[in-house]
Amino acid sequence: MADERPLMVFLHGWPERGLVWRAQVEHFTAAGFECVAPDLRGYGDAEVPHDPGAYAVEHVVEDLLRLHDSLGGRPAVWVGHDWGSPVAWSLAAHHPERCRAVVSLCVPYLPEGFTLANLVPLVDRELYPEDRFPYGQWDYYRFYAEHFDQAVADFEADVPATVSLLYRRSRPEVVGQPARSAAVRANGGWFGDAHRAPALPRDRAMLSDADHAEIVAGLAAHGFRGPCSWYLNDEANAAYAARAAAELRMPVLFVHAAWDTICETRHSRLAEPMRAACADLTEVTIEAGHEVMLERPAEVNDAIGAWLATRRLGPPDRGASS
C-alpha cells in the first residue's frame, strides 16, 4: 500500500548537509509525516560536478523532481533554508502541483530570481550607505564572482576551523550593525591576509560531535568549489525564474531570524517582493541567527507545526472514525 503519510522535504543551504534538519526530521516523523532531508548538489553524498554551471537552481530542482518521483510524487511540504530556500521557491513556482505548501527560513521569495542584481536594490541604505557598501551585506556574493578561486582556497585552508566559525550562535547585539559580509571585498576575503579561518572553540550547542564531524568530512572530501559555485549562476537563475508564474498560491510560511544580519528581513525591504507574490503568506519571527533551525530547534518545530495545523496540512487523525 502506498505511504499515506504527508511528505515533508527539507532543503539545506550553504555550506550544510541534510543532517542540519535532524531535529525537524525527528520531530515531524514522530508527528506522522514522512520526512526526507537530502544532501544537495556539491555536498556530502550528492553529485559534485566540477562545472560551476551545474549548480544553477534549475538543475538542483531537476534533482529534486527525480527524488520526489522516487518517493511516489505526492504533493509535499517543501522546507528550505539559505540556498535551499531559492530551490524550494523555484520548485513551487515551476511545479505547483508538487507542493502542498512551502516553508522558508531566512531567505524570502524573490519572484525574479535569487540573484545579486535583485538583492542589492532591497539593501537598507541607512545601514549600508551606497558609497561605502555598494553591495550592502551581499558584498561577499560579489567577491565570489571576482575572486572565486581565492574564496574556495581560503575556506579549504582549514576546513574544521571554517566549519567551527560558520556554525555559531548569534546574539541580539548584532542587530543594527553592519554585517561582516559587507566588508569581504575591502578586506581581501573573508579572512583577510590570513587566508584561513581563525581557530576558535567550537560552539557545541549548534551541532553534535557526530554531525559536526560529518559536515567537516564532506567538505574536506569534496571541497568548497561546488558549494561556492551556487553563487555563480545569476544569469541562468534569472532566466529560469522568468519562465515561471511569479505568484505562489499554495500556503506559505516564512520564518524571520531576528538576529540574521545577512538575510535581514525585519528592517529592510528584503521581504517585500515575497509579500506581494504570495497569496497565502504567514510570517513568524524567532530570536536567533541565520542557523535558526540549529539555534532554536524547538521553536522552529513549534512554529511550523502550529502553522501546519491551522492549514490542516498535518497527518490524518488515526483515532478518528472512518
CATH number at residue 260: 3.40.50.1820
In a domain, 225, yes or no: yes
3-class DSSP assignment, residue 132: coil
Whether 130 is covered by a domain: the verdict is: yes
Q: Is residue 186 part of a domain?
A: yes
The answer to whether position 2 is within a domain reads: no
Whole-number Å distance between alpha carbons of 138 and 86:
16
pLDDT, residue 6, reads 96
Query: What does the pLDDT read at residue 249?
Result: 97
277-to-54, 213, 238, 251, 253 alpha-carbon distances in Å:
28, 40, 16, 12, 13
Conformation bin of residue 241: beta by default, left when phi > 0, alpha when psi is -120 to 50: alpha
Give me the tens of pLDDT residue by residue for the chain, a chain 322 residues long. 456 899 999 999 999 999 999 999 999 999 999 999 999 999 999 999 999 999 999 999 999 999 999 999 999 999 999 999 999 999 999 999 999 999 999 999 999 999 999 999 999 999 999 999 999 999 999 999 999 999 999 999 999 999 999 999 999 999 999 999 999 999 999 999 999 999 999 999 999 999 999 999 999 999 999 999 999 999 999 999 999 988 999 999 999 999 999 999 999 999 999 999 999 999 999 999 999 999 999 999 999 999 999 999 988 765 443 3
Phi, psi of 184 (to 5 degrees): -65, -45
Helix (H, G, I), strand (E, B) or coil at 145: helix
The three cell numbers locating residue 218: 564532506
What's the pLDDT score for residue 205? 95
State whether residue 9 is helix, strand or coil. strand
Residue 322 lies in a domain: no
Tally of domains in the chain? 1
Q: What is the greatest pairwise CA distance in the chain? A: 68
177 domain residue, yes or no: yes
| Euclidean distance between the first and the last CA atom of the chain, given in angstroms as a whole number | 18
Angle 201-203-207 (CA atoms, 0-180°, nearest 5)? 130
| Backbone phi and psi for residue 8, each to the nearest 5 degrees, phi listed first | -125, 130
Stated pTM of the model = 0.96
Is there a domain that residue 254 lies in?
yes
Which residues form the domain of 84? 7-310
pLDDT score for 320: 40
Using alpha carbons, select from 110, 24, 105, 109 the residue that is nearest to residue 284: 105
In the chain, % of residues over pLDDT 90: 95
Instruction: Give pLDDT, residue 245.
Output: 86
In a domain, 119, yes or no: yes
CA-to-CA distance for 17 and 19, rounded, in angstroms?
Answer: 5
Q: For residue 74, give the DSSP letter.
A: -
Q: What pLDDT shows up at residue 246? A: 85
